[in-house]
Amino acid sequence: MPTPDDVYQALTRVYDPELALPVTDLGLVYDVQVNGNRADVKMTLTTMGCPMAGSLTEMARRAVLEVPGIEEANVELVWDPPWSVDMMSDEARMRLGMI
């Protein structure tokens, strides 16, 4: 049976194409729920006007569907709470020269 951790781990392979960092390190994944063979992910973007919104959510959906046992994946974009750089991992901030 797949777990939320399995799904989150799959999302570590989804990279923001502009920043070349995983969406997980950027703090864009807010919630992962697994119910049987279905996974529901709530994620956000760095800005509401991000031109990659459709691409990133589709990349996330495909990554989730690669998890053994997951047959349905829903990725929902949410804007609350608003994203900020404080949500990034230390590794991501370091790679972007912020610390």
User: Strands (DSSP E) along 19-83, which ranges?
Assistant: 21-22, 29-35, 38-43, 72-77
Question: What domains can you pick out in the chain, each with its CATH number?
Answer: 4-83 (3.30.300.130)
The tokens describing 48, both together, are: 């509401």
pLDDT in tens, 7-50: 999 999 999 988 999 999 999 999 999 999 999 999 999 998 88
pLDDT in tens, 45-67: 999 888 888 999 999 999 999 99
Higher local confidence (pLDDT), 25 or 99: 25
